[in-house]
Amino acid sequence: MPAWEMNVRKVIPYTPGEQPDRAGIIKLNTNENPYPPAPGVARVLQGMDAGKLRKYPDPAAGELVSALSERYQMPKEQIFVGVGSDDVLAMSFLTFFNGDKPILFPDITYSFYDVWAGLFQIPYECQPLDGEFEIVTKDYLKPCGGIVIPNPNAPTGAEKDLQELERIIAANSDVIVIIDEAYIDFGGESAVRLVSQYDNLLVVQTFSKSRSLAGMRIGYAFGNEKLIKYLNDAKYSFNSYTMNTVTIAMGVEAVRDEAYFQETVGKVVATREWTKGELHRLGFVFQDSKSNFIFASHPKCQAKKLFEALKERGIYVRYFAKPRIDNYLRISIGTDEEMKALVAFLDKYIGENLWLN
């Protein structure tokens, strides 16, 4: 190893899902929304005056913060925005987790948490989900450096009861508790209303799923004024202009079109419920998902083989070769037609392969 390499910050990076770009594939592997963003977003794109890009964007993304403030009835001083919730979460780890005690998060969860902990050299301790893949409240009622819990959890899709989360937040008033609500709009109960009661609570959400804007990268967080000030201080010490002009304008359009938001979320939820019924019929087992994906296992069919067979047919789902979850597939909810094609394939595959595995 050359001497300089001793001083390199070595990290094991996050592995995002594949982004194949071939025509005709059915992409159910990265929890994207199958519907386009609100019509106003396309209008921003079409009407964009490239001359506007000459100037730096508003570093505070004021218009977007105002739109969010109106939609969520939250004072502007209590809103932080960033380049996807990944950026918001990373900035939060950097800002809030500077103690000596380990931070806590589930062992089966969003696989970026341990990556950020590694990057920022934050000690952490994973708390195992129980046999039913549920988060165990009492595991989070102990001294620690902070807590991160996604609700609904990923990749299980299961919702944790808000009263239980409140117990965790209340019992940890000496540290910051982050609730990652990337999937909350698909049926979960949000912790946003607890923000006014708990000054240690940060609720993080995203435009990537329910607002169909994964490609634009918009995330945000709600917390008390002091938390948001600390987050902004860290952000302005890193990069003042994290959100670009076009993204800010598109985000405003997306958040203001409440009717379109309700309509598309409603469609995804209806398709999810139909898919649950079909997967049950085929013998899959899974938790009751409140997200835009289903994390399913088949007692008589190996997930890895099924994953490969699906891919061969051009249907992409997500497979994690990790302990405890290596016989599961995470299936994002697509359009009705996409889910029908998936179910038709599974019907045939399972009929033919059940006894071969």
**Exposed, middle or buried by CB within 10 Å (0-12, 13-18, 19+), for 159?**
buried
Instruction: Give min distance, CB of 137 to ligand PMP, in A.
Output: 19
Residues 345, 317: contact at Cβ < 8 Å? no
Instruction: Give min distance, CB of 178 to ligand PMP, in A.
Output: 10
Q: Tell me whether residue 86 or residue 159 sits nearer to ligand PMP (CB atom).
A: 86
Q: Tell me whether residue 85 or residue 346 sits nearer to ligand PMP (CB atom).
A: 85
Q: Tell me whether residue 298 or residue 318 sits nearer to ligand PMP (CB atom).
A: 318
Letters for 81-120 (x = contact with ligand PMP by CB under 6 A, - = none) are ---xxx-----------------------x----------
Query: For helices 245-256 and 62-72, what crossing angle results, to 10°?
Result: 20
Instruction: Give min distance, CB of 17 to ligand PMP, in A.
Output: 8
Strands 219-222 and 79-82, how do they pair? antiparallel
Indicate the helix (H) or strand (E) that contains 279.
helix 258-281
Q: What distances in angstroms separate CA 196 from CA 62, 65, 177, one per listed residue?
A: 22, 18, 14
Instruction: Give min distance, CB of 154 to ligand PMP, in A.
Output: 4
Q: Which of residues 196-235 bind ligand PMP (CB under 6 A)?
A: 206, 208, 214, 219
Letters for 127-166 (x = contact with ligand PMP by CB under 6 A, - = none) are -----------------------x---x------------
Q: Using CB under 6 A, which of the segments 53-61, 78-86, 239-247, 327-335 binds ligand PMP?
A: 78-86
Residues 25, 316: contact at Cβ < 8 Å? yes
Instruction: Give min distance, CB of 254 to ligand PMP, in A.
Output: 13
Q: Tell me whether residue 145 or residue 251 sits nearer to ligand PMP (CB atom).
A: 251
Residue from 129, 149, 182, 265 binding ligand PMP (CB under 6 A): 182
Does the footprint of ligand PMP cover residue 57 (CB under 6 A)?
no
Q: Tell me whether residue 214 or residue 341 sits nearer to ligand PMP (CB atom).
A: 214
- Which parts of the chain are beta strand (E)? 26-27, 79-82, 103-106, 124-127, 146-150, 177-180, 201-206, 219-222, 285-286, 293-297, 315-316, 329-332
The CB-nearest residue to ligand PMP is: 84
Q: Tell me whether residue 57 or residue 84 sits nearer to ligand PMP (CB atom).
A: 84
Q: What distances in angstroms separate CA 258 from CA 168, 172, 265, 266, one per listed residue?
A: 32, 35, 11, 12
Residues near ligand PMP (CB under 6 A), total = 12
DSSP 112: T
Measured at the CA of 94, the angle between CA 206 and CA 186, to 5 degrees, comes to: 20
What backbone torsions phi and psi does residue 275 show, to the nearest 5 degrees?
Answer: -65, -40
Instruction: Give min distance, CB of 34 to ligand PMP, in A.
Output: 16
Does the footprint of ligand PMP cover residue 180 (CB under 6 A)?
yes
Measured at the CA of 285, the angle between CA 281 and CA 290, to 5 degrees, comes to: 100
Q: Tell me whether residue 87 or residue 139 sits nearer to ligand PMP (CB atom).
A: 87
Structure tokens at 171: 């019992």
Beta bridge partners of 287: none
Instruction: Give min distance, CB of 110 to ligand PMP, in A.
Output: 4
**Residues binding ligand PMP (CB under 6 A):** 84-86, 110, 150, 154, 180, 182, 206, 208, 214, 219
